[in-house]
Chain A
Amino acid sequence: MKINNLVLQTVTKIIVFLIFLYSVDLFFAGHYTPGGGFVGGLMTSGAIVLLLLAYDLKTVRKIFPVNFIYVTALGLFISFSTGMIGIFADKPFLTHFFHKHVHLPIIGETSLHTAALFDLGVFLVVVGVTMTIIQTIGEDD
């Protein structure tokens, strides 16, 4: 007997985008409210895990055609190079900088902090490590 999980797949198509949007919100809210790169990365990998549960490993590989080990490496590289900005500006390692008046095209005047880039590295490392663990465990038959 074939199992038809139409309800699960249809619900997943809607819920995955909500979870992903919530993870992005958690990531950007991390400076002033609870959240940050770690929880945001865990929620992003939670969305991908939900896709893995509703579909299968091959489909998710087709949706996200990336090797998640490279995602981990990219996150480590971003965090490290954020620290190197301080050295190139004759300050100690991991000195962060803060620009109060930056004009972005759509958002307008905003303030940017290099700690957000460090947090982006943490985000990518958490997503990469979690997805590598789950995909490796899931695929041994």
Chain B
Amino acid sequence: MFQLIMNASLLIVSISTIIFIYRVIKGPTTPDRVVALDAIGINLVAITAILSVVLNTSAFLEVILLIGILAFIGTIAFSKYLEKGVIIDHDNDNN
């Protein structure tokens, strides 16, 4: 029963990831695609967590935090590129 619930939730998260992939491909503007990619990252966190429950191991718990941090940094880099056109400024004079 527990195994069945875990597999069902894995299926639901996979379906939601596929719908996010549809938004990445179809999305009219670039911010749509960035938000969809960020949400795909969070879905990957969920998939990794459920999979580590299914496989009955704690070896993937580092990966969860790692994906979270990488999705955060990647989304910030992309949104800064969209807003300023440059990712790393040389000299910031407003602080």
Contacts and interface: CB of A to CB of B under 8 A. Distances in A.
A54 B80 CA distance: 9
A101 interface: no
B69 A46 contact: yes
The secondary structure that dominates the B interface is helix
B92 interface: yes
Interface in B57-88: 59, 62-63, 65-66, 69-70, 72-73, 76-77, 80, 83-84, 87-88
Given A34-B62, A35-B62, A46-B69, A59 B92 contact: yes
Contacts of B87: 53, 138
The list of the 3 closest CB pairs from A to B, nearest first, reads: A138-B88, A56-B92, A56-B89
Interface of A: 2-4, 8-9, 15, 19, 22, 26, 29, 33-35, 39, 43, 46, 49-50, 52-59, 134, 138-139, 141
